Every structure is written in C-alpha cells, then in structure tokens.
A and B are shown apart, each in its own frame.
Chain A
Amino acid sequence: MKIHIDEDRCVGGGQCVLAAPEVFDQRDDDGIVVLLQEQPADDLDHQVREAALLCPALAITLEETAP
C-alpha cells in the first residue's frame, strides 16, 4: 500500500498521528501532516486505513500496490 497526502487539504487535526504514530507526524510550525513512511509494512495496514478514514479533511489517499 502506498500513501499519498495532500498538504493543502490538511487542517492539522492530528487524527492520523493518533491512529498511526509510526507513519504520520505533524509539523511544528503549522501542525500540517508529515508522512514518515510512504509505503509502511503490512502490519501497519489497519492503522493506516483507520487514519485515512478518520482524516476530517480527506487529505490521505491510499493506493493499493501488488503484494
């Protein structure tokens, strides 16, 4: 799975950081999302999907990749 983030849409709610702290962080100067891993290991799949579902600004999209 490959993660795409849209910084322009992000409103710094922090939902993604709570759901998947190993994958998402927030910038110190404006709270905007920082992607720590673009293609995280499979065992983080559930957390990453939850982050995408919870993002209020729909700023996280997931691209399925071949296993």
Chain B
Amino acid sequence: MLHTGDAPAYPMPRDAARCPFDPPAELAEIRDTDGIRRVQIWDGSRPWLVTRHADIRAVLSHPAISADIDNEGYPHQSAAIRARRSRAKTFFTADGVEEHDEPRRVLAREFTAKRMQSLREVIQGVTDRAIDEMLAGEKPADLVEKLALPVPTVMICDLLGAPDVDHARVQDLTKVFVAASSTPADTTAAAEELLDLIGGLLDEKAQAPGDDLLSRLATEQLVPGLRTREELSRMGLLLLTAGHETSANMIALGTAALLTNPDQLALIRDAEDPAVAAGAVEELLRYLTIVHSGLRRVAIEDLEVAGTTIRRGEGVILALGPGNRDAAAFADGEHAGPDSLDITRPARHHLAFGFGVHQCLGQQLARVELQVVFSTLFRRIPTLALAQPLTDVPFKTDMSIYGAHELLVTW
C-alpha cells in the first residue's frame, strides 16, 4: 500500500490472492480500528474515508453533507468522471428543493415500487428470450454479452420509449464513462453524443408522444416550458446509463458468486416462495457492493463522525463495501458471518443503493430485474457452470463500478 504520511492511497487495489468478491483487506482494517481515516486520492487531496455501516448512514443523511459536485473540496473520482459529471450535471449531484427534490420527483413516479413490480412479466419475457438465444448459440458463451447486458438495456430503453436505439452503441458509450483509461475529452464526447441522442428523442416525442417516460417529459415538462431540453436530456442520460451498467454488473457478478456457492444457488433454484429470490437479491447486493470506489460527498459545515471532526470544505468518501460487511450491522449469530454469502440473511438494510436523499432512483427496477434473472437462470439451465477458473475471470478492477468484463459459461 502506498503511504503518504498517514493517508493511504485510495482506492486500494483488490488483493489478487483473495476472493475476487471481497473488498481490499485494508478497508476492513480501517473499519475495525478507527473507522475513519484520511486517504489520498488521484488529485493529491486528502478526503476522509468512512467505513462503518452506522457512520455511512449518518453521513449520507446529515444536513452538513453535500452531494453537489460544484462545492469546493468535493472529492471527484477522476478527472474524466469530473468532466462527464459537470457536462451532464443533474439533481443526482446537487442539493436543495429546486436543484434536487423537484426534478427527482418528476422521475420518482416512473420508478415506484408498484410500477416496477407490474413489469415483472415483461422482464420475464426479456429474460427468457435472452436465455433462449444463449442456449441456441455456441458453448462456451459470454454471459455478460448474452444475458447481463441485454436484460437491463432492453428494459431501460423500453421504459424511456427508445426501443430502437442502438443498444451496442449506448453500452460502448457508458463503458467510456466508467473506464479508468478514459480521458476528460473521451467522457465529455461520449456525454455530448448521448445528450444529442436523447434531445432528438425528446423533440420527436413532443411531436408524436407515446406512453413512455421521454414522452411524458416532452409533453409535461418541455412543451409547457417547465424544464429545458438540456436539463431533460441530462435526466434521460442519467437514466439510460445508470439503468444498465449497474444491473448488468450485478447479474454477471451475482451469477459468478452463486456458481461458486452451489449450496446458496440450490436454495434459489429450488424455492417455490418468491420471497427467497427477493431475499437472495438483497444479500447479493450487500455481499458484492459493485459501487466499489466509494460514494463522494463534501462537508458544508463541520460535523462529527466516529469521534473525528470533519471540517467544512473537506471531502468525504463513503466506503460502501466494508460498510456492507460490517459485523455491527450484519452479524446476528444465526447466519454466516458478513464476509460470507448467506441468502437467508435479513440484509435489506444494506448500503448498496446508497442512503439519504440521493439513494438510487432505479432501485425497484433493479430489484425486479435481478429477482427474475436469478430465479430463472438456474432453473432453465440446471447444468450452468463457469467455463474458466474463477481466478481467470477478467473482473472490472479498472472500472468505477465493479463487475466482470466477460463471464464464460457452459452447460
């Protein structure tokens, strides 16, 4: 580990010798000692790293904490992510009634729990078709390409009202957003292309609206002049990219985790009660915590965290991985320890979707997608197996969202 004074470099690399699903050991060490530590990030700044479940919840719902990327001291993930986020800034990286609450509410109705549950049959159909195509193709198959990416991409494009959009192009541009190798020019250009695409769709929908999300934004917000084309395009961009990259990584990583924990896989495969798959999804979200480079915030007033004073203007990084493995929140004596996958564990209080007012807007869609995929895949293909040793899987250690670049499976 690179040390700069008392501030270790962050993010720490995952230890290749350990389980690929475990966060770096240094993070658990911080959590189990001081709980909070200054770390040094790419631009030389030294934000605070918060690692315990209770502290992460407290910080993410604290009035002295801001998610606004324009605040002095905000600890950006990289120059490329800073450039993309400022080009396409939305309510997701802003605070307050006008900048956050009101625009979020325009979209919140589109992703309510009941509305997403009503999509279960549609998601089942999309999942079954993807599995049919995989089975009709060659073995081994790349599960990322055949199942993990198509299901969430088709779903978010359908919800937006853009079923004919070039899925492969959208996936490539989203990859540019999260790749560590991208430059600020790369991410800005990718954002411009997607904003143009969505702006064009909004114009079309304003003329000929259908029953979809972009049509409602066009007719209820754009045409009456409540919100600009630019703002609405940015909102569409957020949904389009957040809607598939995250769920896709959970599908691939979750499949890998279940195939390496066959006793847990059998519990899902053999369950009659849908509550089993629902519980399993919460546990997989907790155990895998794909947002592995931390949620970023900045203090706008002094606050106390784990006995330490964070000063106004100092950056804060919430390390969700170690928080989701915190024994104080997840060890109950009845289930396996928090470093193990135990799908019978009550895990709904995990932090995989964040906490506070910026908690994931699409979480109810992600839940139903993951429940359908995991309760279908192992029933349809009982002999499904990894076609390569787990240690050879190209995991996304180089991306801001964890997952697998490719997951070769056979049956």
Contact = CB atoms under 8 A, between A and B. Distances in A.
Contact of B348 (A12, A25, A31, A54): A54
Interface stretch (B19-27, B102-110, B241-249, B381-389): B102-110
Given A12-B105, A12-B111, A30-B108, 17 more contacts: A8-B101, A11-B359, A12-B104, A13-B108, A13-B360, A13-B363, A14-B111, A17-B113, A26-B108, A27-B109, A29-B109, A31-B105, A31-B109, A56-B354, A56-B355, A56-B359, A57-B61
A28 interface: yes
A38 interface: no
A55 B100 CA distance: 18
Interface in B85-144: 101, 104-106, 108-114, 116
Contact of B109 (A12, A17, A57): A12
Task: Say what secondary structure dominates the interface of chain B.
Answer: helix
A57 B356 contact: yes
B364 interface: yes
Interface in A18-37: 18-19, 25-32
A58 interface: yes
A50 interface: yes
Nearest to A50: B348
A53 B108 contact: no
A19 B348 contact: yes
Nearest to A11: B357
A16 B359 CA distance: 14
A53 B105 contact: no
B242 to A, nearest CB: 15
B269 interface: no
Interface string B359-392: 1110110010000000000000000000000000
Given A14-B363, A26-B113, A31 B108 contact: yes
Interface hub of A18, A27, A50, A54 (most chain B Cβ within 10 A): A18
A27 B101 CA distance: 15
Contacts of A14: 111-113, 116, 363-364
B114 A13 contact: no
A31 B367 CA distance: 17
B405 interface: no
A54 B112 contact: no
A26 B112 contact: yes
Interface string B326-357: 00000000000000000000001100001111
Nearest to B97: A8
A58 B109 contact: no
A14 B367 CA distance: 12
29 contacts: A8-B101, A11-B357, A12-B104, A12-B105, A13-B359, A13-B360, A13-B361, A13-B363, A14-B111, A14-B112, A14-B113, A14-B364, A26-B108, A26-B113, A26-B114, A29-B109, A30-B106, A30-B109, A31-B105, A31-B108, A31-B109, A31-B112, A32-B105, A56-B61, A56-B356, A56-B357, A57-B61, A57-B356, A58-B61
B112 A17 contact: yes
A12 B112 contact: yes
Given A13-B359, A19-B348, A56-B359, A25 B105 contact: no
A12 B356 contact: no
A53 B113 CA distance: 17
Contacts of A56: 60-61, 354-357, 359
Nearest to A24: B113
Interface string B43-82: 0000000000000000011000000000000000000000
B306 to A, nearest CB: 20
Contacts of A25: 114
Q: Which 10 A-B pairs have the closest CB atoms?
A: A12-B108, A31-B108, A14-B113, A56-B359, A17-B113, A30-B105, A26-B112, A31-B109, A11-B357, A14-B364
